[in-house]
Chain A
Amino acid sequence: MSAALLEVTDLEAGYGPINVLHKLSLRVDRGEIVAMIGANGAGKTTTLMCLSGVVKARGGKVVFDGRDLVAERVPAHNIVRLGLAQSPEGRKIFSRLTVLENLEMGAFTRADKDGVRADIEKSFVMFPILRERQHQAGGLLSGGQQQMLAIARALMARPKLLLLDEPSLGLAPQIVVQIFDVIKELNRQGMSVLLVEQNARMALKVAHRGYVLETGRITFTDTGETLLNDPRIRAAYLGE
């Protein structure tokens, strides 16, 4: 088995007449945190939606865990079953379902009731506030709590690769730090993560490797630290 858990080659995707991704290639190895940074409209969310099968790829290969999702035309609802779960942009909590029900929905593809219960317990240990609020409607949580719930919900599918779309969106700085600590901790426990972020500094700090996306193309790629110190990246994305 190769080290690459996800290998994307020459991915093309778009909406109607517009192509958003132009021969995009990237790789996530087992046990890695990979960050993808870029400006608004660069195609970050489209990339993740394409990996989750919600947006159909127009060309290229997405090999996940040894299977080509594009060639096999794996539909969105089966991609989760293969071990690729996403916490979408804007969190997308089921606002009228309770916290507990949100977590249960995350495990929709699973039939092992005991395992699901054990995993809910795990998310409560990771995010104690969710235990406290378990019977409240998801929509009543604060932004940071909703982000925690979104991550916990995605983890309920027991993924091999966790896709996180802008987990820092709209959160207070100290909450962002908390969220990134969780991401680091998950990775320490063995979770592979593909992280899409506008908050380039935070993302590159935790990431082993990073990709810079500009109008649907990868323009730079290197280790997180190197990108963080690259003067061009610093000028364009870190506001220096």
Chain B
Amino acid sequence: MSLLRYWPPVLFAALAAYPFLPVADVIRGQQFTILFVYAILALALNVVLGYTGLLHLGMAAYFGIGAYTVGILSVPFFPFQQSFVVSALAGVLAAAAVGVATTAPVLRLRGDYLALVTLGFGLIVQYLIRNLDPITEGTKGLNPIEPGPVPGFAGTDMSAARLNSDWGTKWYDYPYLYFVALGLLVLTTLFLRNLERSRLGRAWVALREDELAATCMGLNPARLKIAAIAVGAGLAGLAGALYALALHTTGNPSFYDFNLSMIMVCCVILGGLGNRSGVLLGVLLLMGFDRIAVNILDNEIQDALGSSAKEYMKVSAWKLMIFGVVLILMMRFRPEGLLPEARVRRELHDADAKAG
């Protein structure tokens, strides 16, 4: 039981060892990198939705702002060509600033009303990305994203560090970027762990539980909510920055659309609102299924059936229906998520004990 409780560090250690294993595969490793990025994005949403209880349906916009900031500051199309450290930092700050600027005026809105406004915000950003051709290159996306050298290293050439002929030659190739993304994910979880235990983290939870009582205790709801958005949007910007780097392009504007915001909400709720480990599990299951397991299963089916394989026989054709059924079952049988926050678990556990 105690081992189960501490599974995230074990998982992180296993993932850190993965590229050195004989079974390691470049494609799979790159997919994992993207999974780490989504995990950071989900943890960012968890600050806003889980800790503070603000139903934000436009997190993908901050993700996009992070990605496009890195794009603009990196691609040869523009004269900036900054290193990734600079462009990622700019992405984090830009996302946090946009988050604060757009949500500050609507903080009085609660629940569903805030959800609608943030949904609208997400759509606006998505369409700006699509239509601001001179800056974003529209549906072509900004590419190639090949940032300058890492400060402290002589060049971007990592040939000397290759242990294996599969490994890339640039620091932003597999597996180096894999380690960077994993490292940032670990740092993010550590940062959030400390934040949860801080005065600010406690205040967010109190605000989520009862805003009126929190105000009577001397908490400033407006400032706390803005702080939550700033932290959440900033982390989402970081995830976006890594995403663009991992893809070597900002890709298609549809990568930053409402579907992504929504699937992140699903990850957080499936895993357990407010609980870091739960959110990680949610990402692992939902995004792992979506991005990795579906591909593997499709290939298996293709191999088994050969040319007689029809589209409807593939798992990818049923993917969304499987999502839907899983979510319905979750809400029916385990609405608190797979790994609920300790507070929720304690409440339920104590209630059981009382009843028994």
A residues whose Cβ falls under 8 Å from a Cβ of B: 52, 54, 75-81, 85-88, 92-98, 101, 104-106, 108-109, 136-137, 139-140, 153-154, 157
Contacts and interface: CB of A to CB of B under 8 A. Distances in A.
B219 interface: yes
Contacts of B142: none
Nearest to B351: A140
Interface stretch (B16-24, B65-73, B204-212, B264-272): B204-212
Interface in B176-225: 199, 202-203, 205-206, 209-210, 212-220
B216 A54 contact: yes
Given A96-B344, A105-B206, A108-B203, A54 B212 contact: yes
Nearest to B220: A77
Nearest to B203: A108
A92 B219 contact: no
A49 to B, nearest CB: 9
Contact of B217 (A95, A108, A137): A108
Interface in B215-274: 215-220
Contacts of B210: 92-95
Contact of B346 (A88, A108, A137, A154): A137
A4 B210 CA distance: 32
Given A105-B217, A106-B217, A108-B218, A92 B212 contact: yes
A75 B216 contact: no
Contacts of A101: 202
Interface of B: 199, 202-203, 205-206, 209-210, 212-220, 343-344, 346-347, 350-351, 354
B343 A140 contact: no
Contacts of A105: 202-203, 206, 214, 217, 219
A157 B218 contact: yes
Contacts of B343: 96-97, 137
Contacts of A157: 217-218
A194 to B, nearest CB: 14
- With a 10 A CB-CB cut-off, give which of B217, B343, B354 has the most chain A CB atoms: B217
A89 to B, nearest CB: 9
Could you tell me the dominant secondary structure of chain A's interface residues? mixed
Contact of A54 (B215, B347, B354): B215
Given A108-B203, A137-B350, A140-B350, A96 B209 contact: yes
A105 B218 CA distance: 9
Contact of B220 (A75, A87, A153): A75
B272 to A, nearest CB: 13
A41 B214 CA distance: 24
Contacts of B347: 95-96, 137, 139-140
B213 A92 contact: yes
A106 B217 CA distance: 5
Contact of A81 (B205, B206, B218, B354): B218
17 contacts: A75-B220, A76-B215, A77-B218, A78-B218, A85-B216, A88-B212, A94-B206, A95-B347, A96-B344, A97-B343, A105-B202, A105-B206, A108-B206, A108-B217, A108-B218, A108-B219, A140-B354
Contact of A92 (B199, B216, B350): B216
Given A96-B343, A96-B344, A140-B351, A77 B205 contact: no
Contacts of B220: 75, 77
A137 B346 CA distance: 7
